[in-house]
Amino acid sequence: MRTLDRLALSLLHRLDPEVAHRLAIDALLLGWGGSAPPADDPALSMRAMGLRFPNPIGIAAGFDKSAQVVRPLARLGFGFVEAGTVTPRPQAGNPRPRLFRLPEDGAVINRMGFNNDGIDRVARRLARLHRPLPSGRRGGAGVPVGANLGINKDGADPLRDYPALVGRVKPYADYVTINLSSPNTPGLRDLQQADTLRAILDAIATAHPERPPLLVKIAPDLPDDALPAIVEAIVAGGAQGVIVSNTTIARPPGLRGVHVGETGGLSGRPLRNRAQAMLLAVARLAAGRLVLVGAGGIETGSDILARIKAGADLVQVYSAFALQGPALVPRLKTELLAALRAQGFETLADAKGADL
């Protein structure tokens, strides 16, 4: 990390986490995220959902909640960008403070509550990504873009809202994620029950027989014996993949951060072991029928390779990026290439599912 970048990150970490996040978004809007990164090594390229990803590292939903900085995030070197979670109507989210750093644990706790600008404004921003650039080149972010969709805290009707949300973003998103697993919207996680999940997916399929690939984001707190029915519901409902996993309401032993007692979803390093084990279980149940995205506690290239070997096609980061800043992305790529070579794989695709 350059000295200037290290200094800027140190200053941001002296601020309230949500203020620092807003400043980071503003900096990206002002173009301070740098120019286009160097081309990725072809060994890191992955194909999934009919899309090509220049590298497997995506920024998870939660950073760019309202699709304000999709293109600047792509310029930081991410292989794909997922915006959201966005809801039908704008909402302010939960009262502050609602975002807490646990740097000693490499973790973050949030109870944001789906604060976002609402689907209409987000859809317009995604549409603008496809306009021709001033240079005359075709628009777009340069990498696949996903839209993560959720429901409002009040007045929600999942069988109505999720199909409507998909309809608003399907012309502009390369894939769509249905978020049923945030712990910060009352009742949301109940939608992961197999019968309810299947009903939501059926409603989406009926309303939109043609749409982008659909992913379902699930919680790490699901009991292992619930996974077989959930995986079968996802397959039968016509979804193309699963993101494993969202934040956890559990508090693993040994956490040291002063904010460990705060309520909300815990993400980052303490989630790594559970997310890895859950991914492996889902991969075995899916048996190649679903695209898998590994998330939770990824902070090294070796972490990424472990998820790929456990069956993931792609991975997502959030907490490590929030704590370490943009220097994380090139470091992960360098470490991932080194881990590939050390373990005797020529390409990342060769490593997929090696542990299954």
What sign for the dihedral angle of Cα 197, 198, 202, 203? negative
- From the candidates 35, 66, 181, 182, give the one annotated as an active-site residue: 182
Whether 267 is catalytic is no
- Burial string for 40-68 (b: 16+ CB within 10 Å, else e) reads bbebbbbebbebebbbbbbbbbbbbbbbb
Among the residues of the chain, which ranges form H helices? 3-12, 17-29, 70-75, 119-128, 158-169, 194-207, 227-236, 272-286, 301-309, 319-324, 328-342, 348-351
What is the spatial distance between Cα 264 and Cα 99, in angstroms, rounded to a whole number?
9
**CA dist., res. 154 & res. 139, Å (int):** 36
Q: Specify the residue for token string 């949301």.
A: 188
Helix (H, G, I), strand (E, B) or coil at 182: coil
**Catalytic residue list:** 182
